[in-house]
Structure 1
Amino acid sequence: MKILYAIQGTGNGHLSRAIELAPFLVKKAKVDFLISGKSSELRFQYPFKYMYHGLGFYFGNNGGPQYLKSILNIRPIRLLIDILKCPVRDYDFIISDFEPVSAWAASLRNVPCIAMSHHASFLSMKVPRPKNISRFFEWGMKWYAPSRNHIGVHYLPYDKDIFSPVIRNEIVESQVSDKGYITVYLPAYADEILISHFIKFPDYHWKVFSKKTDVFYKQNNIEVYPVDKERYRKELVSCHSAIVGAGFQATSEALFLSKKMLVVPMKAQYEQKCNAAALKKLGIAIVDHINEDFPVRLESWLKSEKPVYPKIECGTERIVERLFELVKI
């Protein structure tokens, strides 16, 4: 059996999931890997046979996407050529983690394709949504990388074929502790914005992970680290609490470790608003954006007790089982 595993390269979540799933897949089949729109800091353990421009997104310094830059980065003719040239007929089936080139190529050529992603879970209306549902983004999540078969990944099994998150093996095997500090990962915000707020709380020890710096630096009670997978793991498993964006991977890891959490969804990012709605139902504190009122909300959260929320499991092996069950159907 020959499989093409296609990965959306924007952000770290898709690639982080692939890093865990790929070893299980290569034990069962011949697997080639494809990536499009690569902007992840993570290293993949297998070579990519195909690399495409895809449809990626850019993020700014004030909590939201850079839509103009993202739109200007779209290459429609190149995208069409990539779709037409993508050799999906060389494979028995395609696995697409929200990757548009392979998904559209498979759809046009009637090649079996399984959408396996967090985004696939939103094809069920049983998955929590924010109060203001965006029809445009709902349409986009359905047609950005279309497929007839779906395996969704979410915090809870809200519907059939929605499984627990894929958690990094290093996280699963970690010894959890509480050393009292607060770990922060808010990649959509500039360091200066975060520091200006955290410095107002000198009694707390802050460890901030930033995409905006390549070197470690310290300002009073705030340590700022460049994004590093292993360093982040160490500081997450031993923190007292975490402040993160509403990206699925970061929130899933904090939930898995049962860490007290404050979540700040990215502005105008519908998937993160949906994640925030789901997390709010679990008792997680949500702050819609960081502005002049943020210190008040932050102080309230710092003084609050950690809520009791469901312990989530790692869904990696069950997802692989379901993938091959669908292939046999």
Structure 2
Amino acid sequence: MRILYGVQGTGNGHITRARVMSAALAKAGLEVDYMFSGRPADAYFNMEPFGEYRTRRGMTFVTEAGKVQRYRTLRDNSLPELIRDVRALDLSGYDLVLTDFEPVTAWAAKLQKVRSIGVAHQYAFCYRVPGVERAPLLKPCLSLFAPADVKVGVHWHPFNAPILPPLIEPQRLPLSREAGRILVYLPFEAMEDIKAVLRPFSDYRFVIYARVDTPLDEGNLSVRPLSRDGFQADLARCDGVICNAGFGLCSETLQAGKKLLVKPLGGQVEQLANARALQQLERGQVMNKLSTDAVARWLPGDNPDPLPWPDTAGALVEWLAQGAEAPVADLSTRLWRDFQSAGLLAEQLS
């Protein structure tokens, strides 16, 4: 089986899933090529698992000051270029297209009638998960953006739907807790706004990962360049995480058992829904804008128990290697049944 795997490059959550999947796909001996879209080609980093991957412009959103800028998003994306890229992509050598909410590969598969399977957090919104009741147009928009013959959603809870647990790499580093050390990743917020909110808490050390070239220390603030290994080390030993409400990092934080404070990206339906789910599951606190008061209320809180997610990638790749004929619901039931904390999560929603 030869597979083309399309990955949305906006944010890092999709790429994190693809890294986990790439290891499982390679272990199964499946031949996979990778295509990424949604950010400039020179803005990807730590891409070694994907070999000679390809990039396209694709579609993304424009943000400023923690909000999606709708007019600039419409202005700066190029529908004609997307159409050209879809038409130019030759899928004649592939048996299957996997898409993690990536539009070029998804639409090329649809037009060329190549079987496609969508694997992404966004596909969980095809079901009645927290937050979708406020976005009635979300489900049709998903199919318009990245259609797929079979849609496989991932989330933190099954929500009585055929949804899989998160696709997250198992915890590699020993977990510890350095009191007062807070990991911060808010890529859509202005750095000066972040500093202004965190600077008053002089008894805490905030490690802020951002697009900077060199480390910078300013009092209780430590700004660090983006680094997958460095970030994972800080996640393993921190006392809590402040981040936007993207699915990937929140999943890793829940797995590590760290307290979580999220600031959803304004105007981004997925992040607003994720924030709602975290509140319902009692696994995180939410601030709708950067707020010193919200941080002050959250900092003294305790860390929850870790949620060691099952090997979703291994089970999913096994399902793919067997032809992906069995119902996704069967795979979902098996994975959640084997997940030791599934009962606890169910209690929280009852």
TM-score normalised by length of structure 1: 0.90
The superposition leaves residues 98-155 of structure 1 with CA deviations (integer Å, 9 ceiling, x where unpaired) of 0111111111222100001111111112x22166x12333332232101120211111
Number of the residue aligned with 1:263 = 262
Offset of 1:279 from its aligned partner? 0.7
Distance in 2 separating the partners of 1:185 and 1:13: 13
Cα deviation, residue 322, structure 1: 2.9
Which residue matches 2:56?
Answer: 52
- Aligned partner of 1:108 in structure 2 is 111
Match of 2:346 in 1: none
The 3 A distance-change label for structure 1 pair 57 and 305 is same
Q: CA–CA distance in 2 between the matches of 1:224 and 1:49?
A: 30
Structure 1 match to 2:329: none
CA–CA distance in structure 2, aligned partners of residues 130 and 56 of structure 1: 21
Q: SS at the partner of 2:278?
A: helix
Give, in angstroms, the shift of residue 216 of structure 1: 1.1
SS of 2:63's partner is coil
Answering whether residue 191 of structure 2 is matched by residue 191 of structure 1, we say yes
Unaligned stretches of 5+ in structure 2? 327-350
* Alpha-carbon offset, residue 277 of structure 1: 1.1
- 1:1-329 equivalent positions in 2, closer than 5 A: 1-26=1-26, 27-39=28-40, 41-44=44-47, 45-60=49-64, 62-125=65-128, 127-129=129-131, 133-169=134-170, 172-180=171-179, 181-211=181-211, 213-291=212-290, 294-307=291-304, 312-328=309-325
Kept in 2: contact 1:244–1:262 (CA 8 A): yes
In structure 2, the residue corresponding to 1:88 is in which secondary structure? Answer: coil
Once residues 18 and 307 of structure 2 are traced to their aligned partners in structure 1, the CA distance between those partners, rounded to angstroms, is: 25
CA gap 1:284/1:79 in 2 versus in 1, 3 angstroms: same
Distance in 1 (CA, whole Å) between partners of 2:267 and 2:137 is: 12
Q: Is the 8 A contact 2:96 2:116 kept in 1?
A: yes
TM-score by length of 2: 0.85
How far apart, CA to CA, are the structure 1 residues paired with 2:56 and 2:10? Answer: 12
Residue 282 of structure 1 contacts residue 310 of structure 1 at CA under 8 Å; is this kept in 2? no
Q: Which one is further off, 32-41 or 189-198? A: 32-41
Look up the equivalent residue of 1:56 and give its one-letter code: T
Match for 2:189: what amino acid?
Y
Q: Do the aligned partners of 2:204 and 2:220 also contact (CA within 8 Å) in 1?
A: yes
**Percent pairwise identity:** 30
Change (3 A) 1:143 1:107: same
User: How far, CA to CA, are the matches of 1:134 and 1:328 in structure 2?
Assistant: 31
Q: Is the 8 A contact 2:279 2:286 kept in 1?
A: no
CA contact (8 A) 2:125 2:132 kept: no
C-alpha contact (below 8 Å) 1:244/1:263 kept by paired residues: yes
CA displacement at 1:11 relative to structure 2: 1.3
Corresponding residue for residue 341 of structure 2 = none
Tell whether the 8 Å contact from 2:257 to 2:304 is kept in structure 1 after alignment: no
Task: Give the distance between the partners of 1:272 and 1:177, measured in 2 at CA.
Answer: 28
Structure 1's 32 and 162: CA in aligned 2 closer, same or farther, altered over 3 A? same
Distance 1:107 1:113 in 2: 8
The separation in 1 between residues aligned to 2:276 and 2:103, in whole angstroms, is 26
**Distance in 2, Cα, partners of 1:309 & 1:158:** 20
Q: CA deviation at 1:72?
A: 2.3
Change (3 A) 1:24 1:38: same
In structure 1, give the amino acid aligned to 2:130.
P
Q: Which amino acid aligns with 1:3?
A: I
Q: CA deviation at 1:310?
A: 5.5
Residues 35 and 48 in structure 1, CA contact (< 8 A), matched pair in contact too: no
Deviation at 1:67, TM superposition (A): 3.0
Task: For 2:199, give the aligned amino acid.
Answer: I
Per-residue CA distance 1:235-287 (angstroms, 9 max, x = gap)? 11100111111001110000000111111111111000111111111213433
Partner of 2:324, secondary structure, is helix
